[in-house]
Amino acid sequence: MTQPPASDADPVRPDPVRPDHRQPDHGTPTGPGLALPWADGTFPPVGLGARTQVYGALMGMALHEASHALASDDVPVGALVVSPQGTLLGVGRNRREEGGDPTAHAEVLAIRQAAATLGSWRLEGCTLVVTLEPCVMCAGAIMLARVARVVLGAWDPKAGATGSVWDVVRDRRSTHRVEVVGGVREDECGAMLRDYFATHRDGTRE
């Protein structure tokens, strides 16, 4: 599996994901971002089986990114953005503790890097994959960036804003609505979070 690009850039000024400059073979995706081995130029795949397999693989990449948040004692949440052509545009992990930035959630950082990669704030047709259901702030960022789809791992019954507590991204009053695919590798995503919070019972982290 192609490894996600490093996301150690300044969260305020994210580095774009550098494209693979090799000439693509017939049927491989083109455009900005990092080519993914299973992509065929159209994302997500049409078939249900293929779509399920690809979503699972992408969630594995998001879980890998989430694990890096533990080094800074941040809540282990990871996210990535994939283009309509199936290329990787951005990755992010929670970095609130690391940078002292209350807005440095995984989704926001992945969206920022994706926008830097494209050179545009409009992420139309893009998919955001994240290990935990987005909060209200992140759901708002998803809407403002015109993300087409959210693929999430674990639901958040306390602060989720894509279907659990609120459903910001599918509000009928909004001019933009987002498709939500939930429960992808939910057990693994939930286990990582439970293990983290088991060591933070004093409630000083959220």
| The model's pTM | 0.84
The per-residue pLDDT for range 132-147, each reduced to its tens digit, is: 999 999 999 999 999 9
Pairing of strands 78-82, 87-93: antiparallel
Give, in order, the Cα–Cα distances in Å from 176 to each of 141, 149, 185. Answer: 12, 11, 27
Among 73, 74, 68, smallest CA distance to 91 is for 68
What is the domain partition of the chain in residue ranges? 44-201
The one catalytic residue among 65, 97, 107, 188? 107
- Separation between Cα atoms, residue 39 and residue 117, nearest integer Å: 18
Per-residue model confidence as pLDDT tens digits over 22-73: 333 434 556 789 988 876 677 898 889 999 999 999 999 999 999 999 999 9
- Please give the annotated binding residues, written as ranges: 105, 135, 138
Residue 107 catalytic?
yes
Helix ranges (DSSP H) in the chain:
48-67, 96-99, 106-118, 136-144, 186-198
**What are the respective helix, strand and coil percentages of the chain, to the nearest 5?**
35, 15, 50
How much is the pLDDT for 16? Answer: 65
Rounded to whole angstroms, how far apart are CA atoms 197 and 194? 5
Rg (CA), the chain: 16
Q: Binding site for Zn(2+), residues?
A: 105, 135, 138
Top-level class of domain 44-201 = alpha beta
